[in-house]
Chains A and B, each alone.
Chain A
Amino acid sequence: MGNLLKRKRHLIILTGLLILNLGVWFYSHARLPIWANVPPAPSLISASTAFLGDKEMAYRSLALTLQSFGNNTGQVQALKDYNYKNLGTWFDLGDALNSKSNYVPFLAGYYFGASQDPSKLMPVINYLRRIGVYPDEDKWRYLGQAVFLARHKMKDKELALQLADELAKTYKPGMPAWPLQMRAIIASDMGEKEMAYNLMVDSLMSEKSNLDPIEVNYMLDQICNYILTPDKRETNPLCKDVKK
């Protein structure tokens, strides 16, 4: 018996260690990663150093990380539970690494902007407000999204009007007319009919030669049927040929 134990001791030790390993597994297998919410973004230097100075690689990798926040531990989180203040630092990092790409602006405007808690949206709006005035093609659309978030999600019409004013300044011939019309629509919505009238007429007169006839008709319709009162409409020469 003693001889047998001596000859098989390596197998006995192996079996004992396997059992010990099983004990460790019983303790650890139920411990799953816990969602620790959005951490603050690393600095620009740290982020690009981690990718050996390749800023494009850093941007793309961090953008995918941003997209997967809240969904990378097998537990899907609601956007309202995200730390939007920290999320704002990730947007800024993305902007510092690559200001040409539309990926992070798209995520910010159309994904993180859909939070169930609109009171948290200021970091998203501030970010979209900043990149919306960049001269690259179509960046102004993100400022348009910021106007939408401020007006319809946060219900902050004062902020929406400020943003719409900035949006109108990005207008260039060839763009659709709604960036020009937005501030007048919001002013009208706020009851500032005179301001709305002046803004809409100003947009119409200054850009009439660049606008599509359909856009011109829409603006006339807004002026005559929504902004002006019926009696003012009768006397306004712009409304002469506009249907009621």
Chain B
Amino acid sequence: MSLILIKYILMGAFRDRLLWGIAIMSLVVVCLSVFTGSAAIIEQQQFIITYIAGGLRIIALLGLALFTVFFVRRSFDSRDVEFLLTRPISRISFIISHIVALSILTAVAGLFISIIVGGLSYHYGSQASVFLWCFGITFEFMIVTSIAFFFAMVLSSPVSAGMATFGFYILARLMGQLLSIIEHTPNAVDIHDRVMNGLSYIVSVISIVIPRLDLLAQTSWLIYGGGVLSDWIFILAQGIVFISLIAIAAWVDLRRRQF
């Protein structure tokens, strides 16, 4: 791991005004959520918290993923990567430094969002499982920025990398839904059953390498609580396992690359 490289990435985020952008957009989300939630005839506070949590999640995620993709592609296009790799930095160190720097950025963004959501929940007296939600949202950001980094390393076009990242995010958010509707017919009799069995196996196989983001930061935790110790453990375990997998996959790709 290279501290200079981490500093270089953090400086890039600072130069791109990433966190300022997230902060300003968050303010807009809070205002819109308060406005929309106030239209509810009862349970206004629950509406406001739900909209703020959902809106901030998307805003921060868009900012972090787009920054990651464009920063990495810019580093390749301006030959910064080639220059960096001529220094005494190994390829694995290059990958780990990026993952660590991006994790620091997501932790700052997660902390910022947690302060807003936690503050509002405290203000409304609804503090059920707020810390668990904040922990989950930070790991959700870490996973998505890691995957954005991977796609930006593998795909040469920032547009393709960005689209792949958002496609992956949507798939990861919906994986719970997909797994709930797949059906296996043990004794398939017609073509429909066989096609459905085939599709179900494909979804089952894909789900092995897709994290369950729908289980990470559940908005209902902010209102009704319900988070338990196993949720904390699952968030941490899935985050570590998946980010490690992505880091290794990016390293394998970088090892094969000729400059």
Contact = CB atoms under 8 A, between A and B. Distances in A.
Given A48-B177, A64-B47, A100-B224, A57 B42 contact: no
A53 B215 CA distance: 9
B220 A55 contact: yes
B110 to A, nearest CB: 17
A53 B47 contact: no
A55 B176 CA distance: 12
A16 to B, nearest CB: 36
A34 to B, nearest CB: 23
What DSSP secondary structure best describes chain B's contact surface? helix
Interface of B: 36, 39-43, 46-47, 50-51, 53-54, 170, 173-174, 176-177, 180-181, 213-214, 218-220, 222-224
A98 interface: yes
A237 to B, nearest CB: 47
A64 B40 contact: yes
Interface residues of A, number: 22
B39 A64 contact: yes
Contact of B174 (A52, A57, A63, A67): A52
A7 B208 CA distance: 65
Contacts of B46: 60, 101, 103
A194 interface: no
A53 B174 contact: yes
A57 B54 contact: yes
Given A103-B40, A103-B43, A56 B50 contact: yes
6 contacts: A53-B176, A53-B213, A56-B219, A57-B219, A64-B36, A64-B40
A64 B50 CA distance: 13
A67 B53 CA distance: 22
Given A64-B40, A102-B43, A56 B223 contact: yes
Contacts of A100: 224
Given A55-B220, A57-B54, A106 B41 contact: yes
Nearest to B220: A56
A56 to B, nearest CB: 4
